[in-house]
Each structure stands twice: as C-alpha cells, then as structure tokens.
Amino acid sequence: MAGGIKGTLQQRRFRNARESAFVGLLVVAERVGLQLDAVCQRHGITHTQYNLLRILRGAPPEGHPRYEIANRLIARAPDVTRLLDRLDRQGLVERGWAADNRRLSVARITDKGRTLLAAVDPEVVALQDAVLKPLGRAQVEALAATLDALAR
C-alpha cells in the first residue's frame, strides 16, 4: 500500500487512532477482496463460491445442509440455494437429501469441485503471502489475534 491509508485516501489526518484503524480495516478489506475476486474469476467462480466450495471440502462425507453452509460463509449470501444451484450446474457440487431426514437438503463437493480448489488454492496462498509480506511472524500472529477479538 504505497503511502499507507492516508496516502491512499489522500487524507492528511484522522480524528483519532480508532478512526484511522477502522478506515484502514475497510480499505485493506476492500483491496484484498478485489484481489481475491480476480483470482477466483480466472477460474470461473466468485470468491463467495470459492468460500462455499472450501466449506464443503471440509464437510463430512454426507455433506452439509444449506443452513449450515449459510452459517459458515465469510460474507453472508442472501440466497445460498441459488449459489448451490450454479455450482451444481457447473458440476462442482452435488445435492441430495439427508439420510435421516428426507426434508433436509444437503450438498457435497464433487471431484470436479476438489480439482478446481486444487487449482485455485495455490493462487490464494500466494495472495495471502503477498498481502502479509510486509509483516513479520509476530505481527501476523498479533493481527490474527486482533481480528479474532474484533470478530467476537
């Protein structure tokens, strides 16, 4: 980030450190989101679809019901059903019914979905490395702890 937050926004000062931190968090989140969007777009998916596929990759073999996927998404999606429909049409997920409750729709990642994630993951790791490169290990750990505290 050339020039830091103030330089990026062409702002000389903030009212206080809290405002500076808050605005900085928004600026960095937007930039990282745009970069993640670009990585995912090269593979024909959105970053929300990437997140959904990651969730299903970590799911038990029987998959996850729609409500569980919605609860685990990083950014809340208004219509998880449509997200699943698109991924199903692409052959990246398969949908069915829970064995113990035929009213409960569940989704599972397919081999094609796993293959796609295997192609996207190295680029996401490279993005993580590039974004966090200015920080030392202790700073990264402190940032992770700080963000965890803010997410509570």
* Domain ranges, ordered by start, for the chain: 1-41, 46-123
Binned at pLDDT 50, 70 and 90, residue 10 comes out as low
Question: Has residue 22 got a pLDDT over 60?
Answer: yes
- Cα–Cα distance, 35 to 149 (Å, whole number): 25
Convert the pLDDT of each residue in 83-115 to its tens digit. 999 999 999 999 988 777 777 889 999 999 999
- Cα–Cα distance, 112 to 39 (Å, whole number): 18
Answer yes or no: are the C-beta atoms of 90 and 52 closer than 8 Å. no
What number is the average pLDDT over the span 39-56? 96
pLDDT over 90 percentage in the chain: 66
- Cα–Cα distance, 129 to 152 (Å, whole number): 25
CATH architecture assignment, domain 46-123: Orthogonal Bundle (1.10)
Least confident of 10-14, 50-54, 137-141: 10-14
Question: Has residue 1 got a pLDDT over 50?
Answer: no
Question: Has residue 13 got a pLDDT over 80?
Answer: no
* Positive/negative CA dihedral, 66, 68, 74, 78: positive
Q: 56 or 99: whose pLDDT is higher? A: 56
Give the pairing type, strands 64-65 and 93-98.
unpaired
What is the torsion angle, in degrees rounded to the nearest 10, for the CA atoms of residue 38, residue 82, residue 73 and residue 97?
Answer: -130
Count of C-beta atoms within a 10 Å radius of residue 51: 20
